[in-house]
């Protein structure tokens, strides 16, 4: 589907400071300019926002992934929503390409929060009428909202790029049980077998790949995931795959390149030859170290915005 220029009479694309480059790209696909905004910090670090154009009655889309610094970006989004709500905006869509706090979607032990639900409540109370997002960590997060959530997936986009690779002797690897459905989706599209690395989590930042389920001897693994955070899951999966005789030619495919903490240490290993991600989160050149290749989700988001604005089916985008 191709985005067509839309009249900016009643449509406004705004951005927070989390990812203005993606927002600009989305607006360009729609043939629009970003709406003018002032975003600054008070001396004590509180956020100040002013929408510098009238949004009364308009259909407004705010682009803001809640990537690191997560709390800063989330709070900034909340302040923007509040400004829009008080300015009599017709409809507000929070476009959150990467939804932070998503991994805290259940209690594992007593006296823990369900932060993903709390963020959903904050967004709804704050004024969002709709959320547009990509590859949520778990699908049930959609149910945490009482407003419509349009969840896109980057699997089709990433698969298009994977088709340009030499896929001989390749296997799709799910790095934990939670990614089996996603791995099956990739494998089905590419006609490849699926292998699972059984992972046991030992703490919020520490994970442990235990054993490989499936045959990887002499194979070239393609590990898929929804996000790479510290790269610990990937690093441990690569080690487990090498121990089982896989070729030291491992490619990684993940939607969200969070890339924090010891990610470089975990991903620089020579066994990893390419890391394909999207730009739901900015990936500055220094984080790419010649291996990380971001694919843009701008057109996909622009097409979805176009569908939502025109009240046509978003799911038709995937047909
Ligand atoms: C876990 O359930 C997720 O799907 C990712 O595998 C995980 O969040 C990646 O984190 P890290 O890169 O820190 O291992």
Q: How far apart are CA 95 and CA 78, in angstroms?
A: 12
> In the prediction, which pLDDT does 315 show?
87
Annotated catalytic residue 199: yes
Please tell me if the CB atom of residue 228 comes closer than 6 angstroms to any atom of ligand 1. Answer: yes
pLDDT category at 209 given cuts 50, 70, 90 is low
Q: Which segments of 191-297 does DSSP mark as H helices, in order?
A: 232-243, 263-267
- pLDDT for 151-167, tens place per residue? 999 999 999 999 999 99
Q: Is the per-residue pLDDT at 201 higher than 70?
A: no
Catalytic residue among 107, 199, 217, 287: 199
Mutate to test the pocket of ligand 1, among 233, 234, 240 (most ligand atoms within 8 A of CB): 233
Strand runs (DSSP E) across 153-300, as ranges?
170-174, 194-201, 207-213, 220-228, 250-257, 272-278, 292-295
Report which DSSP code applies to 112: -
The reported pTM is: 0.95
pLDDT category at 208 given cuts 50, 70, 90 is low
Of the candidates 73, 91, 181, 172, the one whose C-alpha atom is nearest the C-alpha of residue 135 is 181
Of the candidates 179, 296, 187, the one whose C-alpha atom is nearest the C-alpha of residue 227 is 179
Compute the distance from residue 85 Cα to the ligand 1 centre, in Å: 35
Please tell me if the CB atom of residue 229 comes closer than 6 angstroms to any atom of ligand 1. Answer: yes
Of the candidates 67, 86, 55, the one whose C-alpha atom is nearest the C-alpha of residue 16 is 67
> In the prediction, which pLDDT does 2 show?
46
Q: Which segments of the chain does DSSP mark as H helices, in order?
A: 20-29, 70-86, 115-126, 155-162, 180-190, 232-243, 263-267, 298-309
Mean pLDDT of 42-53: 98
Please tell me if the CB atom of residue 227 comes closer than 6 angstroms to any atom of ligand 1. Answer: yes
Compute the distance from residue 312 Cα to the ligand 1 centre, in Å: 34
């Amino acid at each position: 589907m191709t985005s067509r220029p839309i009249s900016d009479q009643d449509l406004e694309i705004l951005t927070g400071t989390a990812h203005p480059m993606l927002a600009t790209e989305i607006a360009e696909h729609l043939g629009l300019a970003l709406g003018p905004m002032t975003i600054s910090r008070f001396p004590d670090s509180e956020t100040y926002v002013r929408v510098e154009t009238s949004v009364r009655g308009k259909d407004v889309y705010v682009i803001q992934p809640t990537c690191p610094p997560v709390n800063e970006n989330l709070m900034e989004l909340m302040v923007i929503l509040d400004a829009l709500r008080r300015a009599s905006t017709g409809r507000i869509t929070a476009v959150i390409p990467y939804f932070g706090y998503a991994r805290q979607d259940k209690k594992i032990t007593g006296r823990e929060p369900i932060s993903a639900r709390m963020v959903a409540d904050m967004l709804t109370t704050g004024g969002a009428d709709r959320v547009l997002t990509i590859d949520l960590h778990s699908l049930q997060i959609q149910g945490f909202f009482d407003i419509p959530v349009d969840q896109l997936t980057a699997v089709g986009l990433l698969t298009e790029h994977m088709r340009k690779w030499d896929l001989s002797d390749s296997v799709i690897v799910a790095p934990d049980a939670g990614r089996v459905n996603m791995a099956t989706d990739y494998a089905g599209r590419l006609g490849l077998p699926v292998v699972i690395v059984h992972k046991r989590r030992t703490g919020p930042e520490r994970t442990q790949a235990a054993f490989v389920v499936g045959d990887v001897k002499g194979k070239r693994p393609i590990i898929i995931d929804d996000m790479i955070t510290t790269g610990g899951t990937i690093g441990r999966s690569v080690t487990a795959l090498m121990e089982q005789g896989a070729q030291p030619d491992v490619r990684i495919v993940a939607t969200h390149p969070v890339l924090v903490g010891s990610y470089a240490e975990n991903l620089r290993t020579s066994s990893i030859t390419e890391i394909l991600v999207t730009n739901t989160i900015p990936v500055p050149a220094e984080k790419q170290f010649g291996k990380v290749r971001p694919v843009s989700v701008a057109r996909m988001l622009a097409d979805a915005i176009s569908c939502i604005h025109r009240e046509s089916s978003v799911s038709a985008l995937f047909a």
